[in-house]
Structure 1
Amino acid sequence: MQAVGIVVEYNPFHNGHAYHLEQAKQAAKADIVIAVMSGSFLQRGEPAMVDKWTRTQMALASGVDIVIELPYVYSTASATDFAKGAISLLTAIRCDSFVFGSEDGSVQPFLNTYHLIKQHRDEYDSLVRSSLQTGASFPKSLHYAYEQLTQNHPATYIDLAQPNNILGFHYIEAADRIGSPIQPLTIPRVAAGYHDDLKEGASIASATGIRKELAETGSLEGVKNVLPESSYEYLCNWHEQHTRFASWESFWPLLQFTIIRHSPNELTRYAEVTEGIEHALLKAAKTSDTFKTFMEKIKSKRYTWTRLQRMLTHIYTGFTKEQLHSFDTPTTIRLLGMTAQGQHYLGRHKKEFTLPLVSRVAATEDKMLAIDLHVAEIYNFSVESSGSSHKLPKDYQTPPIRFK
C-alpha cells in the first residue's frame, strides 16, 4: 500500500484542503493518506478554533485515512522545528512520499534553493547577521540574505517571501537532515492566498479568511460555500455547544491573568521569552482590555505578531526553555483517528514503524506526550470557561476515532 503524508492544521478543514488532499493522492499515486496534524495550539502561536478531535473528524470525513498528532513541542515551533517534527513522524509511520501545497507548485526549485543555502551556509548566515544588526526582524533578515545569495548564484529558485514556500523549504531541509527516504512532492495552492479575506461567491478561501469572517460576523452561513458539508456541520455543532470558537480574544482574561501573576524574572523561564520583553508584556497586560489592544502595544520591528503569539502560548501553557531544549526528536506516534482503510494499513505495517504507535495515553510515562495531555487540559478549560455549555472530551480518556 502506497502511503502519502501531508502536514496539516485544518483550522478549519475547508474546500482548499479537500482539493489539496485529492491532488496529493493523485500526485503520489497513493492508496493511503496520512495527515500529521497540530493539536490544541498551532504554529502561528494561537489556539485551534475547535479541538483536535473535531478537526480529526473533519479530516476523516473528507478523505484522510489516518490522523496522527504533531506534538506541542513542534506544532508551536518555528518553521525549522515544525517541519522537523512533522517529517520525522511521516517517516516513522512509513510514508513513501509527502506532499505540500506551495505558491511555486514545482518541487525542483525547492531542491535548488535548499542545496544553494546548504552549500553556501557560511555566506548565508553572515548576511543574516549583518541584516539583524541593522534592526531588521529575523524573517526580513532571512529574506535579505536569500535575495543576496540568489543574485550571486543564478538558477530557478522559489520565492521565500511566500508563507507556504517557506514551510515547503523547511520540509525539504528536514527530510535531508534526518536522512529520510521519503519523496517530496508539491502542488500549487489555488484561488486563495494564505492571508486573503473571504471573497463573495468564491468556493475556496484561506483558513485565515474563514476565521476572520467568523470573528467579524459570528455567522457560519457566510462561510458555508467554502467548506465541505461535513466541516460545516461539525462547526455548527461546536458553535451550538460552545457559543463561540476558541481564539486568543476569547481566552484573553485567562491569558491576561497568567501574565500578570508572574514577576518579570519568572516570565523569562518560558520558551522564546527573550531580550527583556518580559517588562513590556507585564506593562501591556496590566493596561489592555482586549487581546488585540495588548498585541498592538507590544508588537515592534523586532517582534513579529507570530513570534509574540508563540511566546504567549508558552507562557500560557507553562512551557519552559528547559523543556524546549530537552527534546530532540518525536518519541511516539500519537494516533487520533482512522478509517477502515487506515486501520488496515496500521495493522499491516505497524511492525515496520520506527516509533511506538500510541492509541491509549492514560498511563503514559512519555514526557513529550505528557506535555500534549497537559496542554489539552488547559485548552479544554479555556474553552469551557469562555461561555461553553458543554464539556470537551478529556484527552487522556479519548480513544482514537474510528470513522466508518
Structure 2
Amino acid sequence: MKACGLIVEYNPYHNGHHYHFQQAKKITNSDCVIAVMSGNFLQRGEPAIIDKFNRAKIAIEQGIDLIVELPYFYAVQHSELFARGAIRILDSLQVDSICFGSEHGKINDFTEMYQIIKKHQEEYDSYLKLMLNNGESYPKANELAFNKIGGNKLLIDFTKPNNILGYQYVKSIYDIDSKIVPITIKRIKNDFHDSEIKDSIASATSIRNQLFHENEENIIQAVPYKSKEILDNYRLNYGAWHYWQNYFTILKYRVLTMSRSELKKIHGMKEGLENRIIEKISKATNFNEFMELVKTKRYTKTSLQRIFANILTNTTSTEIKHLIAQEQPDGIRVLAMSPIGRQWLNQHKQQIETTIFTSNKKPYPYQTMDERIDNAYYSILPIPVQQRLLKQSYQKPIFKTSQ
C-alpha cells in the first residue's frame, strides 16, 4: 500500500478541499490518504467553526482514510512550527508523499528555494531578523530576506499564505531527512482571502462569512452535501458557530482578571503588549472593535489571534517550549478512520515508533492540555451541551464501516 499525506484544517470542508483530495490520490497513485488536521483552534489563531470531531466526520465520509490530530501546540503557531509538527506526524506514520495546494503550483521551485536559503542561511537569517525588527510582518519579512539573497528570480510570491506553508513543508521534510516526496497542485478559482462565494470552488473564508451572517443556503454550491448536512446539524443541535465574536466576553474576563505578570507568561506575548491588550479591551464592546484598536503593523491580526487563543486557553510559553522541543511526536491521536485507514495502521504498526492513541481512556502526553483546550473551545455553548460534547474525547475514533 502507498499512502499520501495531507495537512489540513477543513474549516469547513468544501469543494476545493475535495478537489485537492481527489487530485492528491490520483497524482500519487496512493491506496490510502492520511490527513493531519488541526484540532479546535487553527493556525491563524481562530476557533474552528465546528469542532474537530464533526470536521473529521465530514472528511471520512468524503473519502479520506485516516484523520489524525495536529495538536494545539503545533496547530496554533506560525508557519514554520505548524509545518514542522505536521510533517513530523506524517513522517512517523510512514507516508510516501505529501500533496499541498499552493498559489505557485511548481514543486521544483520550492525545492530550489530551500537550497538557496540553505546555502545562504546565515545571511538570510540576518536579513529576516532585521526586517522583523523593522516592523515587517513575518510573510513580508521572509519575502524581503529571500529577495536579498537572490531568490527573486524564482518568482514565488512569499506573501501568499499557501506558498509560505508549502515552503515550510518542503523545508521540514529536508531538515529531518525524511523520505517523504513533496508534491504541490495549484490552487484554482479562488484566493485564500476571498470574502464572497463566486464559484463552486470558493474560499473557506467566504463560506464562513455566509454562515456567520446566517445565509446557510448560500453555501450549497460550494460544499459537498455531507458538509452542509453536518454543519446544519451542528448549528441546530448546539446553537452557535465557533468564531471570535462569540468568545469576546470570556476573553475580556480572562484579560481583566489576569495579572500583568500572568499575561507576560502567555505564549507569543511580546514585551509590553500585555499593557496594550489590557488598555484596548477595556474600551472595546465587541471582538472586531477590539482587534481594530489593538492591531498595528508590528502586531498583525493573525499573530494577535494566536495570543488571544493562548490567553483563552491559559497556554504559557514554558508549556509550549517543552512540548515542541521533542524531536518526534510523543503520541498521535486518531480522530477518524476508514477500513483502509485501519488496515494501514495495522500493516505499519511495527514500523511506527510513536504511540497511536484512539481515545483519552489511556493517558497520553498532552492530555491535560487537550482537556483544557476543549473546555475553552466549548465554553460558549450551554452547559448541558458542553458536557455532552466533552465526552467525545473519551470515545473511540469515528469509524466508517465501508469504503
Aligned-residue sequence identity (percent) comes to: 36
Query: What amino acid is the match of 1:331?
Result: D
1:381-392 superposed matches below 5 A: 381-384=379-382, 391-392=388-389
Q: Aligned equivalents of 1:79 and 1:188: distance in 2?
A: 19
Deviates more, 1:312-321 or 1:119-128: 119-128
Aligned residue among 297, 300, 307 for 2:296: 300
Structure 2 partner of 1:338: 337
The answer for the alignment partner of 1:396 in structure 2 is: 393
User: Does residue 159 in structure 1 map to residue 173 in structure 2?
Assistant: no
How much does 1:190 deviate? 1.1
User: Which residue matches 1:67?
Assistant: 67
- 8 Å CA contact retained: 1:39, 1:52: yes
Q: Distance in 2 between matches of 1:157 and 1:315?
A: 38
Query: Which digits, 9 at most, give the CA deviation of each residue in 1:360-384, with x for residues without a partner?
Result: 22240x3323312321122123333
Contact 1:384 1:392 in 2 (8 A): no
Deviates more, 1:139-148 or 1:165-174: 139-148
Q: Is 1:253 paired with 2:252?
A: no
C-alpha separation in 1, matches of 2:268 and 2:252 = 18
Instruction: Please list, as runs of the form range in 1=range in 2, the aligned pairs for 1:79-158 lying within 5 A after superposition.
Output: 79-150=79-150, 155-158=153-156
How far apart are the structure 1 equivalents of 2:89 and 2:136?
Answer: 34
User: Which range is displaced more, 354-363 or 274-283?
Assistant: 354-363
Seen in structure 2, the aligned counterparts of structure 1 residues 262 and 65 have a Cα distance that, compared at 3 Å, is: same
TM-score, length of structure 2 as denominator length: 0.95
AA in 1 matched with 2:341: G
CA deviations 1:40-96 (Å, max 9, x no partner) are 100000111100110001100111000000011100011111001000000101101
Out of 250, 261, 271, which is 1:265 matched to?
A: 261
Aligned match of 2:3: 3
Which of 190, 193, 197 is the aligned partner of 1:192?
190
- 1:315 paired to 2:323: no
CA deviations on 1:75-127 (whole Å, 9 max, x unpaired) are: 00111110010000001011010110011111000001111111101111222
Cα distance in 1, alignment partners of residues 298 and 186 from structure 2: 31
Q: Please report how far the alpha carbon of residue 336 of structure 1 lies from its aligned counterpart in structure 2 after TM superposition.
A: 0.6
- Cα distance between partner residues in 2 of 1:191 and 1:29: 25
How many equivalent pairs are there? 398
Which residue of structure 2 lines up, in the alignment, with residue 225 of structure 1? 221
- Give the C-alpha shift of residue 132 in structure 1: 3.3
Amino acid of the structure 2 residue aligned with 1:403: K
What one-letter code is carried by the residue in structure 1 that aligns with 2:109? P
What's the secondary structure of 2:209's corresponding residue? helix
Give the Cα separation in 2 of the matches to 1:135 and 1:87: 30
What are the ranges of 5 or more consecutive residues in structure 1 without an aligned counterpart?
A: none
**Does the residue aligned with 2:381 lie in a helix, a strand or coil?**
helix
Instruction: Report the CA distance between 1:344 and its aligned residue.
Output: 1.5
Judge conservation of contact 2:4–2:96 (CA < 8 Å) in 1.
Answer: yes
**Offset of residue 268 of structure 1:** 0.4
SS for the counterpart of 2:191 is: coil
Q: Shift of the alpha carbon at 1:388?
A: 6.2
Aligned counterparts of 1:333 and 1:234: Cα–Cα separation in 2: 25
Local SS of the residue matching 2:177: coil
**Runs of 4+ displaced beyond 6 Å:** 387-390
Other-structure match for 1:274? 270
Q: Report the Cα offset of residue 307 of structure 1.
A: 0.2
Q: Which is further off, 153-162 or 60-69?
A: 153-162
Q: Give the AA of the match of 1:397.
A: Y
What's the secondary structure of 2:154's corresponding residue? coil
| Paired letter, 1:57 | K
More deviation, 390-399/102-111: 390-399
**Other structure's SS at 1:325 match:** helix
Q: Are 1:208 and 2:205 an aligned pair?
A: yes
- Say if 2:375 and 2:390, in contact at 8 Å, map to a contact too: no
Instruction: Measure the CA separation in 2 of the matches of 1:402 and 1:3.
Output: 19
CA distance in 2, matches of 1:154, 1:192: 25
CA contact (8 A) 1:377 1:394 kept: no
Q: Distance in 1 between matches of 2:260 and 2:25?
A: 50
SS across alignment from 1:27: helix
Partners in 1 of 2:180 and 2:386 — Cα distance? 45
More divergent stretch after superposition (313-322 vs 280-289): 280-289
Report how far residue 203 of structure 1 moved: 0.5
In terms of mean alpha carbon deviation, does 241-250 or 35-44 score higher?
241-250
Amino acid of the structure 2 residue aligned with 1:260: L
Alignment check: 8 A CA contact 2:4 2:33 kept: yes
- Structure 1 CA distance, aligned partners of 2:367 and 2:174? 26
Contact 2:101 2:162 in 1 (8 A): yes
CA contact (8 A) 1:89 1:333 kept: yes
Question: C-alpha separation between the residues in 1 aligned to 2:386 and 2:357?
Answer: 31
- Conserved? CA contact 2:374–2:390, under 8 Å: no
- The answer on whether the counterparts of 2:197 and 2:203 sit within 8 Å (CA) in structure 1 is no
Q: Secondary structure at the match of 2:349?
A: helix
Letter in 1 for 2:393: Y
Report the residue type matching 2:241 in the other structure. Answer: F
Structure 1: distance between partners of 2:135 and 2:153: 30
Residue 240 of structure 2 is matched in structure 1 by: 244
Secondary structure of 1:352's aligned partner? coil
Matched to 1:31, the amino acid is: D
